[in-house]
Each structure stands twice: as structure tokens, then as C-alpha cells.
């Protein structure tokens, strides 16, 4: 590969064209297409998790957690969820005595309790004397013109707005209607996910025709005299994991307040921002975040409050940063690739070192509250490198193409790559005695199916069915031997060694059965007779390339193959899948097997004991 560029008389001109194409893609990516934003997010998420591991949350933010234990423990006292609001009122009284800075509910009290109005009344009586309790409000999707007039809502709650705000603007809002309006200190809890479904940002406000509907964290922190950024949202700077914030079980705190002699610290919530919400999975308030795919919404609210309180949210790098860095990476490589004597590996090593330095820089930038997208420029830098080295790769690839074409007919492409990398050839894989597991699968009801469909439909249907089944065989490491009419023959244990060949064959058969059931649902009632029989046997066989100089196939021959075919023929009226005792013995504890009896098989004196496999549930 060191003489790669000697093959061309004008290497620099080609590289310049590649560079121009790469720069054009960079501009399209950053200005319009944003092709690699999801990949950039994934890399940034990894850095976020690394940084978050070393960060502790604000100790003055405490979650009173309605966890699974609380839901179970409160069953006798409060019944099933949702609990009577009087329960929350009693808890509020106890928390308020400790004089926290703010009490923030992460529970939507959207409807009055029709069956327990006295409970709502008590809750509101408690709230009447408290002026630091906050409630969530949600903006619903849909045509906002059908919502409530914001000018009327502004008479009840504080809605910041511009001088040019539309007095007729409306929004579909879900306020805490179970709470008396004089206690409405509210804010939105809507979260805007990125295109990949990950929550990375928290809205500070949503603007509707000049009216700024504040988020709950922004409203709380504004009342506590913290500076709120004027931007519409913030990129969250995460802390630890989804269990990082201090949590107090709701039921434990509630029970302690009921004791004559409380056992908890009577000042544990003094001066704290207390969030009352749920992390129980049964409450379905779970989001995917960079830190975890199952992150409670209450913990996201706590993170937003933490970020605003400590002014530690993330700042994005300028939009022109990625294109400039990509151009730099390409410009560094240009003079190196223009040399007559080219060491591709040395250039690749230098580029790898530079990439690692940039990734380390991304980590330290994150620690300084700057989010930098580096994957896109690195991709373009590496794309340029691989484009210049492509000719050497193509030359090496050409010498293996014939072997790959042969292997691809009966093996999963991943297995083909492994065999070629090991230097295997058709000659080296011929005439081997192996212990293998052979699978035969034959279609039932094909004659009936043929009578109802045109030849074109039959061919299309078979091709689709075979594609599904062959994909399963490959996925479980099997070798496709051949198609015999409407039957499939496959085996495991060759050409690659597989100590668990029997187990993999049975697993493939079970998945083939499930795929068949789905396929039958697509066919409908008219083709309900369409079915298959699958026979499996494990034993010795000769495997290798057999055929003429014009055409050779990789196949298995011997009694093991014959018996597998005979077993498949016995499935009709017995079971969809039958395996021999030898196969069942090789599977050990991977599956349960149900005996179906012993059967007389052509060519064998002794009867063959057969079994039906059953998937073991973990």
C-alpha cells in the first residue's frame, strides 16, 4: 500500500476533486440536510454520560418519590392510585412546617375529584395558606385556535408577553383544575424530544402569538429570584444517573408525619426545593435521555431546576464550527497524499491520533459546559482518507472476488468475510468429515395453493417465503445447502466449526416456525392449508464442494442427511418440527423437548425416537 499514489500520474487532481465533493457535502450538511445529526447526538450522549458520572446533583433539590414501594404501602391508607387529594394535603402540611423554599408538584391535577369533593376541598384549604407551592400545566397538541384565550388565562396566572401580543391568541392548555385558581402558580411541563426520540433539552417557554407560556422550572426559579435565560430552551447538563438526586419515599415521609414521635430529621427539607412526583414505571412518566433510556420525568424536572439554579446548562458550539474543522482535517491530509511515496498506514495512524485528541477535547469542552459536535467533521476527514486509500483496497479485493461469489450462495455474508479473512478456498473446504446438524424444511399444502394462484403469484410468494426462512438460517449461523423444489436443506457445523450446531439449528427451526405463522396471517383464510414440516438430525457427514468444473456446490452427503429428510417426512399429522434423539441430546438444557414416540424409518432397522422442541423461557 505504500506505493498507492504511484499508480496514478495525477493523484493530486483526483484528491482535490474528492476534497471539493467533501466540502460540498459539509456545507449541505451544516446548512440544509443535517445528515449526521443523529450520529453526532450519539457521540455527544456518550460524552455526556462520562461527564455526568463525576457530577453530583444540587443537594438542595429533593424528590419526594411516589415509587413502587409507596404505591404498595399506601394501598391500605389511600387506596389505589390516584390517591385522594387530602393525602397530598396532609403531606403538604408536614412539609410546609419544615419551611422549604418551594414545593413543586409533578402531578397533573387536571380534573376535580367528583366522588370525593371533600378531599379536594381539604387540599385547597391547605394550599390557601401556602404561597410557595407550584403545579404543572400541559399544552396539548392540535389546532391551538380551539383552545382557551390567553388574555383570559392571563387574568388568572402570570403570562409574560410582548407589547405586540395578539389579544385573541388561544392555546390548548391542561391546567390544574382541581386546584383553586388563587393557588395557580403553574408552568408547562412539555418536553421537546429531538428527532431521534431522545430528550436533551427543556423548554423555558413556548411562545404563542407573543404570549410566553413559561415552563414549570422557569416559573419556580423566576419566583426564587434566579436569572432565567431569554432563550426558548436550554440543553440540559445531566448529573450522575437517574437515581442521582436525593429521594425520600412518599410513603415513608407520610408515615413519619403521622407518628407521635417522628423518627426523621425535622429539618431535612428546610430551605430545599421539594419536588413531589413519581419514578414508578407504572406511572408511565419515563423518557429516553442521554444518561438513560428509562429516565423518570420527575428527575428531568429536577435536572432543569438544578441547571437554572446553578446556571450550569450546556452551550452549543457555533454552527460554523463543524465545517471549519472538517476543512482543517482534509487540508492537513492533502500535502501528505500528494507525495510520490505514500505510507497510508502512517497517515491513518496520525489521523487516528488527531481524532483521539479531538474527542478528548470534546470531553473537556463538555466539562466546561460547551457541547461540541465532532463526529460529522471527523467522518468527513476519515472519508477523505479512505477515498485516497481505496485503490489499494480494490486491488486486494479483486483477488478474492471469485471465492466470495462462490461462498455467498450458501453462507451468511458475515461468515463469508470470516472465511475469506482466514484464507479458505473451495479446495481447502472439500472432502471433510464433520459432525453436523442437518435441517430439512418442506412446504405443506403447496398443491392447493398452486390451484388458487397464477404462476407469477406462486413464484413471488415462494421467493418471499424463502427469503424470510433463509434469513433466519443465516442469522443462526447455518449453511444453506440447496432448494429442492419447495423444500430447503441447511446444515450447521460446517464450513465453520460450531460446537453448538445442534442448538443453533433448533433455535433456527423455532424462529422459522414463528416466521411461518406471521406469513400465514398475511396469506389469509383462503390459504390456511399452507404449512411446513421441519426435520432435524445430528450426526457424521461428508461436506465439501461437489460437482463438475463448470459448476460446484458446497453440500453434505451421508446417512445423517438422509435421516434428516426422513424425519421431515414424518412431521405431517404429528408436529411442525421433529428432531432426533441425537439432536436433543446435543442441545443439553437449551430447550425442553416433548417426546412424540418412536417411528419406523425407511432404511433403518431400529425405530427412531423423535421429539418436539419447546423454547425455554428465561
Confidence of residue 32 (pLDDT cuts 50, 70, 90): very low
For residue 404, give every residue at least 6 positions away whose Cβ sits within 8 Å of its Cβ, in sequence order, or none.
416, 420
Is pLDDT above 50 for 245? yes
Is pLDDT above 80 for 474? yes
Place of cell 433510556: 293
Higher pLDDT, 152 or 529: 152
Higher pLDDT, 155 or 87: 87
Confidence of residue 142 (pLDDT cuts 50, 70, 90): confident
Q: What is the mean pLDDT of the chain?
A: 83
Min mean pLDDT across 33-37, 579-583, 598-602 is at: 33-37
Min mean pLDDT across 90-94, 451-455, 570-574, 581-585 is at: 451-455
Tally DSSP H helices, then E strands, for the chain.
Answer: 20, 25
Query: Domain spanning 412-615: which superfamily?
Result: Nucleotide cyclase, GGDEF domain (3.30.70.1230)
- Average of per-residue pLDDT across 273-298: 88
Cell numbers given for 491: 446444515
Q: Are 60 and 271 in contact (CB under 8 A)?
A: yes
Min mean pLDDT across 162-166, 319-323, 360-364, 506-510 is at: 319-323
Helices of type H across 434-557: 446-452, 455-475, 501-523
Confidence of residue 433 (pLDDT cuts 50, 70, 90): confident
- Average of per-residue pLDDT across 460-474: 89
Is pLDDT above 70 for 246? yes
Query: What is the model's pLDDT at position 117?
Result: 92
Neighbours of 455 (CB within 10 A): 8
Confidence of residue 303 (pLDDT cuts 50, 70, 90): very high
Min mean pLDDT across 54-68, 196-210, 535-549 is at: 535-549
Give the model confidence (pLDDT) of 390-407 as tens digits. 755 565 566 466 566 666
Domain ranges for the chain? 4-35+316-397, 61-310, 412-615
Higher pLDDT, 343 or 514: 514
Percentage of the chain modeled with pLDDT above 70: 82
Give the model confidence (pLDDT) of 211-225 as tens digits. 899 999 999 999 999
CA angle 122, 124, 128 (to 5 degrees): 120
Is pLDDT above 60 for 4? no
- Average of per-residue pLDDT across 360-378: 81
Confidence of residue 6 (pLDDT cuts 50, 70, 90): very low
Three-class secondary structure assignment of 386-438: HHHHHHHHHHHHHCCHHHHHHHCCCCCHHHHHHHHHCCCCCCCCCCEEEEEEE
Taking the C-alpha atoms of residue 432 and residue 539, their distance in angstroms, rounded to an integer, is 14
- Average of per-residue pLDDT across 33-51: 77
Query: What is the model's pLDDT at position 128?
Result: 92
Is pLDDT above 90 for 356? no
Burial (0-12, 13-18, 19+ Cβ within 10 Å), 334:
middle
Query: What is the model's pLDDT at position 540?
Result: 94
Query: What is the model's pLDDT at position 186?
Result: 93
Cell numbers given for 590: 437449551
pTM of the model: 0.58
- Average of per-residue pLDDT across 15-26: 55
Q: Are 608 and 598 in contact (CB under 8 A)?
A: yes
Query: What is the model's pLDDT at position 120?
Result: 92
CA distances from 399 to 141, 392, 394, 549 (A): 59, 12, 9, 20
Query: What is the model's pLDDT at position 134?
Result: 96
In the chain the first and final C-alpha atoms are separated, in Å, by 50
Of 343, 371, 374, nearest in space to 357 by CA: 374
Taking the C-alpha atoms of residue 425 and residue 407, their distance in angstroms, rounded to an integer, is 9
Query: What is the model's pLDDT at position 1?
Result: 35
Query: What is the model's pLDDT at position 521?
Result: 83
Query: What is the model's pLDDT at position 218?
Result: 94
Cell numbers given for 451: 390451484
Query: What is the model's pLDDT at position 10?
Result: 43
- Average of per-residue pLDDT across 87-103: 94
Cell numbers given for 156: 388568572
Burial (0-12, 13-18, 19+ Cβ within 10 Å), 548:
exposed
Amino acid at each position: 500500500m505504500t506505493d498507492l499514489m504511484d499508480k496514478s500520474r495525477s493523484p493530486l487532481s483526483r484528491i482535490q476533486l474528492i476534497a471539493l465533493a467533501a466540502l460540498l457535502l459539509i456545507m449541505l450538511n451544516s446548512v440544509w440536510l443535517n445528515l449526521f445529526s443523529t450520529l453526532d447526538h450519539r457521540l455527544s450522549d456518550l460524552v455526556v454520560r462520562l461527564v455526568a458520572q463525576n457530577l453530583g446533583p444540587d443537594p438542595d433539590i429533593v424528590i419526594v418519590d411516589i415509587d413502587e414501594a409507596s404505591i404498595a404501602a399506601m394501598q391500605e391508607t389511600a387506596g389505589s392510585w390516584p390517591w385522594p387529594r387530602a393525602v397530598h394535603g396532609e403531606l403538604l402540611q408536614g412539609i410546609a412546617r419544615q419551611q422549604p423554599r418551594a414545593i413543586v408538584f409533578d402531578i397533573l391535577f387536571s380534573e376535580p375529584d367528583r366522588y370525593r369533593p371533600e378531599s379536594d376541598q381539604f387540599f385547597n384549604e391547605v394550599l390557601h395558606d401556602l404561597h410557595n407551592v407550584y403545579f404543572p400545566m400541559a399544552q396539548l397538541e392540535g389546532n391551538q385556535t380551539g383552545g382557551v384565550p390567553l388574555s383570559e388565562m392571563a387574568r388568572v396566572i402570570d403570562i409574560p408577553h410582548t407589547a405586540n401580543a395578539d389579544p385573541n391568541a388561544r392555546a390548548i392548555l391542561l391546567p390544574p383544575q382541581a386546584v383553586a385558581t388563587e393557588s395557580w402558580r403553574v408552568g408547562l411541563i412539555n418536553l421537546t424530544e429531538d428527532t431521534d426520540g431522545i430528550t436533551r433539552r427543556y423548554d423555558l417557554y413556548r411562545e404563542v402569538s407573543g404570549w410566553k407560556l413559561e415552563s414549570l422550572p422557569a416559573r419556580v426559579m423566576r419566583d426564587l429570584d434566579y436569572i432565567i435565560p431569554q432563550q426558548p430552551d436550554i440543553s440540559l447538563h445531566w448529573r450522575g444517573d437517574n437515581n442521582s438526586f436525593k429521594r425520600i419515599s412518599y410513603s415513608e415521609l407520610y408515615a413519619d408525619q403521622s407518628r407521635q414521635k417522628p423518627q426523621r430529621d425535622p429539618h431535612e427539607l428546610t430551605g430545599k426545593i421539594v419536588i413531589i412526583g413519581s419514578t414508578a414505571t407504572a406511572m408511565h412518566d419515563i423518557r429516553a435521555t442521554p444518561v438513560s433510556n428509562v429516565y423518570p420525568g420527575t428527575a428531568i424536572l429536577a435536572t432543569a431546576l438544578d441547571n437554572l439554579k446553578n446556571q450550569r446548562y450546556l452551550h452549543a458550539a457555533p454552527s460554523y464550527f463543524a465545517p471549519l474543522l472538517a476543512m482543517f482535517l482534509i487540508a492537513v491530509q492533502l500535502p501528505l497524499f500528494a507525495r510520490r511515496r505514500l505510507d497510508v498506514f502512517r497517515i491513518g495512524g496520525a489521523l487516528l491520533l488527531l481524532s483521539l485528541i479531538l474527542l478528548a477535547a470534546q470531553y473537556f469542552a463538555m466539562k466546561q459546559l460547551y457541547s461540541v459536535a465532532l463526529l460529522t467533521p471527523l467522518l468527513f476527514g476519515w472519508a477523505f482518507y479512505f477515498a485516497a486509500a481505496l485503490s489499494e483496497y480494490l486491488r486486494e479485493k479483486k483477488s478474492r472476488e471469485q471465492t466470495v461469489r462462490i461462498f455467498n450462495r450458501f453462507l451468511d455474508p458475515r461468515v463469508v468475510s470470516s472465511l475469506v479473512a482466514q484464507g479458505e478456498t473451495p479446495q481447502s473446504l472439500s472432502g471433510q468429515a464433520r459432525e453436523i446438524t442437518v435441517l430439512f424444511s418442506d412446504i405443506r399444502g403447496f398443491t392447493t395453493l398452486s390451484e388458487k394462484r397464477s404462476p407469477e403469484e406462486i413464484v413471488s410468494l415462494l421467493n418471499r417465503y424463502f427469503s424470510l426462512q433463509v434469513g433466519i438460517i443465516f442469522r443462526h449461523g447455518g449453511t444453506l445447502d440447496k432448494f429442492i423444489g419447495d423444500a430447503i436443506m441447511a446444515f450447521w457445523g460446517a464450513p465453520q466449526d460450531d460446537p453448538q450446531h445442534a442448538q443453533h439449528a433448533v433455535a433456527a427451526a423455532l424462529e422459522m416456525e414463528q416466521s411461518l405463522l406471521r406469513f400465514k396471517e398475511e396469506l389469509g383464510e383462503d390459504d390456511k392449508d399452507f404449512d411446513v414440516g421441519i426435520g432435524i438430525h445430528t450426526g457424521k457427514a461428508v461436506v465439501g464442494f461437489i460437482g463438475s468444473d463448470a459448476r460446484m456446490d458446497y453440500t453434505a452427503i451421508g446417512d445423517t442427511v438422509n435421516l434428516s429428510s426422513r424425519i421431515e417426512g414424518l412431521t405431517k399429522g404429528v408436529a411442525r418440527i421433529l428432531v432426533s434423539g441425537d439432536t436433543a441430546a446435543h442441545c443439553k438444557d437449551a430447550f425442553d423437548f416433548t417426546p412424540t414416540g418412536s417411528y419406523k424409518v425407511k432404511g433403518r432397522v431400529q425405530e427412531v425416537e423423535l421429539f418436539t422442541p419447546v423454547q425455554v423461557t428465561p
